[in-house]
C-alpha cells in the first residue's frame, strides 16, 4: 500500500458540489493499494502514521505525533498512486488493486486509524474535489514495499 501524507491546517472534500467531510489540524492521507496488499500492509501503515513525529512542538521542531497534537485525518482513496509512469506517456494501472478489494482495505485502514484519532473519509471511487491547506508544507510518502 502507499500513502501520501500531507500535514494540514485544514482539509475538506466535495462530491458533486456537496461537502462530505472536513477536518482541522491533522493529516490529509491519499491512500492507494497494490495487487497483493492485505491486512498486514494496513496495519503497517496505521502503526507508522500513528507514531510519526511530524508535528511541531513549541520550539518549532518536528517532535510530536498526531495524537499529541489532537489531530484528525481525512482519508481519500487514490488509486492513481499505484500508477506506473516508467514507460510511454500514459500511466499504467496494471499493478493497482481491483476496486472491490481496494475498498475493503480502504475501509479497514480508516477503521483501524480511527482507533487512535478522529477520521473523516472521502467517497471511495467517486470523483472528488479536495481542498488542502498544507502546513509547512510537510508531505511524506509511505510505501509498505519499502518499510
Active-site residue numbers? 78-80
Beta bridge partners of 96: 34
Q: What are the grid coordinates assigned to 94, written together?
A: 496494471
104, with CB counted inside 10 A (0-12, 13-18, 19+), is middle
DSSP 98: P
Helix (H) or strand (E) holding 103: helix 99-113
H/E stretch holding 49: helix 39-51
Amino acid at each position: 500500500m502507499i500513502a501520501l501524507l500531507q500535514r494540514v491546517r485544514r482539509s475538506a472534500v466535495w462530491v458533486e458540489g456537496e461537502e462530505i467531510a472536513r477536518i482541522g489540524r491533522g493529516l490529509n492521507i491519499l491512500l492507494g493499494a497494490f495487487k497483493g496488499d492485505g491486512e498486514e500492509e494496513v496495519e503497517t501503515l496505521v502503526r507508522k502514521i500513528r507514531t510519526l513525529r511530524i508535528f511541531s512542538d513549541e520550539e518549532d521542531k518536528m517532535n510530536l505525533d498526531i495524537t499529541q497534537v489532537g489531530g484528525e485525518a481525512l482519508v481519500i482513496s487514490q488509486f492513481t498512486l499505484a500508477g506506473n509512469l516508467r514507460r510511454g506517456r500514459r500511466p499504467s494501472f496494471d499493478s493497482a488493486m481491483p476496486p472491490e478489494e481496494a475498498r475493503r482495505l480502504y475501509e479497514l485502514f480508516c477503521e483501524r486509524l480511527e482507533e487512535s484519532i478522529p477520521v473523516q473519509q472521502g467517497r471511495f471511487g467517486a470523483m472528488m474535489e479536495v481542498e488542502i491547506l498544507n502546513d509547512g508544507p510537510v508531505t511524506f510518502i509511505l510505501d509498505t514495499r519499502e518499510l
